[in-house]
Amino acid sequence: MSAIEVDYRFPTGVDAHKQAQVIALGQTVGTWNADFDHRQAAFAQHMGQVLSVATHEGGDHTATVQFPVANVEGDIASLLTMIFGKYSMAGAAKVTAVRLPQSYGLRPHLGIAGIRERLGVYERPLVMAIFKPALGLCAADHAALLQQVATAGLDVIKDDEILGDLATAPTLERLRACRPVLETIQQQTGRTVLYAVNVTGRADQLLERARVLVREGANALLLNVLTYGFSVLAALASDPDIDVPIFAHPALAGALCGAPDHGLAYSVVLGTLMAHGGADAVLYPAHYGSLPFAAAEEARIREELRSRHLFPVPSAGIHPGMVPRVLADYGNEVILNAGTGIMDHPDGPGAGVCAFFEALERAIPGQALIANQLPDGPLKRAIAKWGV
C-alpha cells in the first residue's frame, strides 16, 4: 500500500457522499481561486479521493477516503491532523479504520520477541502485576510488594498510571528501592523481572527523565501515550539510550473513542496508531473485565498489534478465573495483567501470582475452571473470591 485509507462512519441523516468529499478536499488541498489554476497538477498530487460509500442496515454509512502519503510526515501526529483534525469538529462522524503502509511510523524496538528474550520466557503467556494501592505507598512499600510477587515468579510489574513523580514516592526513589529486589531475584534464580516505571513530566523534561531512569536501572517504561502524546512515544522509542520495552497505557482513550458517532474507534487508537507509534506492548480493556468494552473491538486491537509484533495486554479486572477465556482468545502470545486480581488475593500478593500460574497449568482454553475440582491452594482461593 502506497497511500493511506481511512473509513469514516456517518449516522443516518448525514449525507455521507457530500461529507466524504468535504473531507477529501478540506483535509488536503482545500479550495483555491483562479489565481492558482495553473497549479492544479501540483494540487492533484496532494488531493484526497473518495474511494467508496457504503450504506449499512440501519441507515448509517461508511465512506472510505484515500490520502497521499506525501501529505504527512510519517508520524502519528501529522496523520491525525490530516485525517481528522479540523473535521473532527464538523459534526457526527467516527473514524472506524485506518490502513497505513507497512513502512509508516515506527515498529516496536523490542515487541513480543524482544520482551520474551529479555525475560527468557518463550512458551507461555507472561504474568504481570500492578502496584496497588495506586497512591499513598512509599518507595519502601513498593519494594516490599515487589519482593512478594517477584519471589512467586512474576514476569512484569508496572506502576499504576495515576502514580507520577509525587512527593510521597518520587519516581527515582521507587526505582532505587525496587532495583535491589530485581537484582537479588536475578542473582538467586537467574530470572529477570521487568519493572515498567511510569515516566511523566513536561515534554522538554520527560525524555531526559526517561534516560536517567534507564541509567539508574529501569528495565522497562510505562507511558500514558494519549495524555502525553504520540510524539513523546516516538521520541522515547527512537532514543538509542532508552533500550527498554515501552508499555503503552490507554488512559484517556474513552474520551477519544467512547461516543458512538464521534471520535475514533478504540481499535484505531489502541490498535493501529499504537502499532505504528513505537510501543512494545499495549494495555487495553478485556471485554470480560471490569470496564464496558466490545469483544469485536478487543479482537481488532489484538490483531492490529500482533500484525506488527507488539504484545497485547488485555487488562482491567483480570483475575485467575478468567485465564481459560483469555487463552481461548489469545493463546500464548499475551500478557496477563492484574492489579486487584493479584494484590488483593486472600493469602497475599505472592499467592495471587501463584494462582495465575496454577491457572495456566490447569486451564483448558474456553473451559471454565471448576472450584470443587481444584485442590486447596491459591487458585481455589482466588476463584472463591472472584469466581470464573
For residue range 135-146, list pLDDT tens digits in order: 999 999 999 999
The pLDDT of residue 293 is above 90:
yes
Instruction: Say if residue 1's pLDDT is above 90.
Output: no
Mean pLDDT of the chain: 95
3-99 and 111-386 share one fold: no
> Which pLDDT does position 30 carry in this prediction?
75
- Is the pLDDT at 185 greater than 70? The verdict is yes
pLDDT tens per residue across span 207-257: 999 999 999 999 999 999 999 999 999 999 999 999 999 999 999 999 999
pTM score, two decimals? 0.96
pLDDT on residue 29? 74
Lowest mean pLDDT among 2-11, 29-38, 129-138, 299-308: 29-38
User: What class does CATH assign to 3-99?
Assistant: alpha beta
Domain layout of the chain by residue ranges = 3-99, 111-386
pLDDT at 303: 98
Cβ partners under 8 Å of residue 196, min gap 6: 156, 157, 158, 159, 220, 221, 222, 245, 247
The catalytic site residues sit at 86
The more confidently predicted of residues 39 and 183 is: 183
User: Model confidence over 31-83: pLDDT tens digits?
Assistant: 666 667 767 777 778 889 999 999 998 899 999 999 999 999 999 999 999 99
**Lowest model confidence (mean pLDDT) among 44-48, 164-168, 197-201, 337-341:** 44-48
Q: What percent of the chain has pLDDT over 90?
A: 92
pLDDT, residue 32, reads 63
If you average pLDDT over residues 381-386, what whole number do you get?
Answer: 96
pLDDT of residue 45: 82
Lowest mean pLDDT among 213-217, 278-282, 290-294, 361-365: 290-294
Residue 161 has pLDDT above 90, yes or no: yes
The predicted model gives 195-209 an average pLDDT of 96
On the question of pLDDT at 274 being above 70, the answer is yes
CATH domain 111-386 topology: TIM Barrel (3.20.20)
